[in-house]
Amino acid sequence: MQLTKGVEQGICIIVLLATQESSAPLASDEISRRLGVSPSYMKKITRKLVVQGVVVSVPGNNGGISLAKAATDITLLDVIEAMEGPIRMYPDTGLISLAFHEGRYAQKGQELLRSVFSQGDRLLVEYFSKVTAADLLKEGLGMSDLPTLNWNRETLSDVLDKEQDDFK
Amino acid sequence: MQLTKGVEQGICIIVLLATQESSAPLASDEISRRLGVSPSYMKKITRKLVVQGVVVSVPGNNGGISLAKAATDITLLDVIEAMEGPIRMYPDTGLISLAFHEGRYAQKGQELLRSVFSQGDRLLVEYFSKVTAADLLKEGLGMSDLPTLNWNRETLSDVLDKEQDDFK
DNA sequence: TTCTAATTGGATATATAATATCCATAATGG
DNA sequence: CCATTATGGATATTATATATCCAATTAGAA
């Protein structure tokens, strides 16, 4: 019942991209350094986000990945499904049918369980589809308008400090 | 994000016990035959249900396991937690802290994610704690008063057929 | 055009957890 | 005492997640 580590990594990637200058795609090699995994592995992870349609990629020189849409339109569900596929809690191995093979109630019981668990699935889908990347950033940073920077050079703190200075 | 096969096995066990004559404990060896696993493995599974407090066991001759409480008081959450422990979706490896190490927002972001996911956990707990074994049996069998039988000898269909005949 | 930097995709290794079994021990009823 | 059953430890097997390497492709820049 635990989400995979990939979900956590995916969230980090989205956060990085959401605060990245839109003009400059972020190279997955850079992300891999930051998250402490190999460049080749990070490419596998980012690829999943591309396939899901949350991220777009451009190969070649000065290439990399960037968000495919606004942070307000990217949800936690997107990230989870990118990494794990559709949410399906029930491990449907047909055991009910096997166990109660002789009885005519096996089929009915099997269907009942499926519907009970898929109702649970729906609860999660509903919940996670309402949590957007923008929500996370807003609450996490305590500000509504996102700062943008180039993660290849700067850190988030640098930018936030600078803005604070401007405010004074 | 999938529940383990053990949950499905646990559900089958509860269903068997719920329709078992209360006077006669059901031997786990009998259950193992029905679910198609080895007796030794089945004992591991049933043990989890005992530890969780949904099932009681008596060793020795004519021993076995039986429900520790009424089917109306046994929930899907009980079975799930017996098999997998508390529901915790978030794979908290501290990656956020690692990735945004330099920034002062890492801590805040980490806590935010934890709370977001534990809210998801609560949704599931709430839902699964409301689905009882009695609900499953009632809907699965289409009747409210549960038939009881001895699974060592009979099958569920036998009993239900018999009752149907009585009704005529 | 050629070089470099980047994604893509296939093959594969490693780690971890789930699944499963065996065996020795303890407990219970006849 | 004997047969039967649960308990607990050790361990094997399988599946999945995690991770890496390498060859191929694509795009921009010199």
Instruction: Please tell me which residue of chain A has the smallest CA distance to B140.
Output: A109
Taking residues B52-67, what's their average pLDDT? 95
Judge: B1–A3 Cβ closer than 8 Å, yes or no: yes
Instruction: List, as ranges, residues 134-153 from B with C-beta within 8 Å of A.
Output: 136, 139-142
pLDDT higher than 80, residue B77: yes
By residue range, what is the domain housing residue B53?
5-152
The answer to whether residue A80 is domain-embedded is: yes
The answer to whether residue A94 is domain-embedded is: no
Nucleotide with minimal C1' distance from the CA of A46 is C7
Domains contained in chain A, number: 1
User: Mean pLDDT for chain B?
Assistant: 87
**Measured in angstroms, what separates residue A67's CA from nucleotide D27's C1'?**
19
Per-residue pLDDT band at B139 (split at 50, 70, 90): confident
Q: Does B105 touch chain A (CB under 8 A)?
A: yes
Judge: B80–A34 Cβ closer than 8 Å, yes or no: no
pLDDT higher than 90, residue A127: yes
The answer to whether residue B163 is domain-embedded is: no
The answer to whether residue A136 is domain-embedded is: yes
The answer to whether residue B123 is domain-embedded is: yes
Structure token digits, residue B28: 């786990």
Taking residues A68-91, what's their average pLDDT? 97
Contacts 24+ apart (CB under 8 A), A17-20: A17/A55, A17/A65, A17/A66, A17/A67, A18/A67, A18/A71, A18/A74, A18/A133, A18/A134, A18/A137, A18/A146, A19/A137, A19/A146, A19/A147, A19/A148, A19/A149, A19/A151, A19/A156, A20/A66, A20/A148, A20/A149, A20/A150, A20/A151
Q: For position B98, which CATH number holds?
A: 1.10.10.10
The answer to whether residue B157 is domain-embedded is: no
